[in-house]
Structures are given as C-alpha cells and as structure tokens.
Amino acid sequence: MEIQREREAWLLENKEAINAKIERGLAQLDRGEGLPGDGLRARLEADKAGWLKP
C-alpha cells in the first residue's frame, strides 16, 4: 500500500509536467514527426540495453 501511495503522490506532484509532455508528443505526431513502430521498438531496445549495462 505504501508504494501505491507514493506513486499516487508522485503523479499528483508531476501531473502538469506529464500532461505537457503528452501534449508535446501528440503535437509531434500531428506534424508527422512520430517514429514508425519498428523504429520505436529498436530505439526502446537500445535504451533498455544501455540501462541494463553494469
């Protein structure tokens, strides 16, 4: 339960920033600046590999 409360508190504290990022992302997609699914998947895999390196 404590983790859930902490997560909810964090979301409330960062709600404006999160919404702003979502709006920016949607505007980018509207302008055709999104990545195709395969490109996004490859980028996420590369990011994940970088995070997992010791």
pLDDT at 34: 87
- Domain of residue 37 covers 2-52
Q: Decide if 28 contacts 34 (C-beta within 8 A).
A: yes
Q: What is the pLDDT of residues 1-54, one digit of tens each?
A: 899 999 999 999 999 999 999 999 999 999 999 888 888 899 999 999 999 887
Total domains present in the chain:
1
pLDDT at 54: 73
pLDDT at 48: 92
